[in-house]
Amino acid sequence: MHTTPGTIVVGVDGSEHADRAARWAAEQAAAEHRTVTLVHTVSAVTPTYLDAALADPRTARSRLQAGGEQVLDAAAAVVDAAAPGLEVRRVFELVDTRQGLLQLSEDAAMVVVGSRGRGPLRSLLLGSVSAALVRHASCPVTVVRPERGGTPRHGVVVGLDGSAESLPVLEHAYRQASLHAHRLTILHCRWDVAPGTATAYLVPDDLALADDEPEGLGLAEATAGMAEKYPDMRARARLGQGRAEDVLAHLSHSMDLVVVGTHHHGRGHRALVGSVSAAVVEHAWCPVTVVPMAGS
């Protein structure tokens, strides 16, 4: 599978969740002046493929192609409604969805998917497709989660650990906030809370962290240079007490986007970072972008 380098790839399957992802991808592509590539795949082990092959093996491909084109047509209409005039490319392949999207992520600027898909296995989609992308994609992955309507939104929140490896995560958050004229919240979490206590406590806005505190030092180093690169941005630092995934999920109720990082390989704290990103994707109430961290 191949596509235009730098495109925003979005997986579609005709579901409401995929349509939500297509709308989000269209708006993102318009903001970044990129193309959108709509991708629909059919795996050889799915009922759709097997039924077509058993009915008439000679025409199975053409039948599946026709069905795939209908899905892509519908998704293209969603994109056009969200961002008229946007250049849209299409990809249909008989391949496992995870394999196809991971391959395309090697050249894409971003891969976008919905949080649930169509069919009897839709409750497992997040655990298969989205989780595979979050763990292994070569580019940022955005999982477009359902939102609660009527809730005021307050921009972008990025979860950081203060390490140099998290700089790509911070820069992505700055860029998204700047592109969409959103406020940026930089979150660092403490773990010194007793089990069973409230885990989403946040200190007051615009917290000034002391230089001699590990959290303050880490955030100061991580944000160095970003103000010059994005002079239009006003970022605020906040300190959360509790597990990072709990605090970020809590904040997602009132955010436009959550940005987190993940390591694809490694042990110790790297595995922990990966588990945080997966948990946030599972429980957030707004889109979540997972950015590969340096050294992945």
Domains of the chain with CATH codes: 8-144 (3.40.50.620), 156-292 (3.40.50.620)
Would you call 35 helix, strand, or coil by DSSP?
coil
CA atoms within 13 A on the CB side of 102: 16
pLDDT mean over 189-207: 48
pLDDT at 8: 98
pLDDT at 58: 63
Tell me what the pLDDT averaged over the chain comes to. Answer: 79
Nearest to 226 by CA among 160, 274, 150: 160
Work out whether the CA dihedral 17, 146, 141, 153 comes out positive or negative.
positive
Q: Residues 131-190: pLDDT tens digits? A: 889 888 999 999 998 877 667 788 999 988 767 778 899 999 999 999 999 999 988 876
238 vs 55, residue with greater confidence: 238
Nearest to 113 by CA among 24, 27, 7, 2: 24
pLDDT mean over 92-119: 86
CA–CA separation, 169 vs 3, rounded Å? 25
Residue 240 · residue 187 · CB < 8 Å = yes
Which of 24-33, 119-128, 278-287 shows the highest mean pLDDT?
Answer: 24-33
Q: Is 0.85 surpassed by the pTM of this model?
A: no
Q: Report the Cα–Cα distance between both ends of the chain, in Å, rounded.
A: 23
Q: Residues 217-266: pLDDT tens digits? A: 456 666 777 878 888 888 888 877 778 888 898 889 889 999 999 876 54
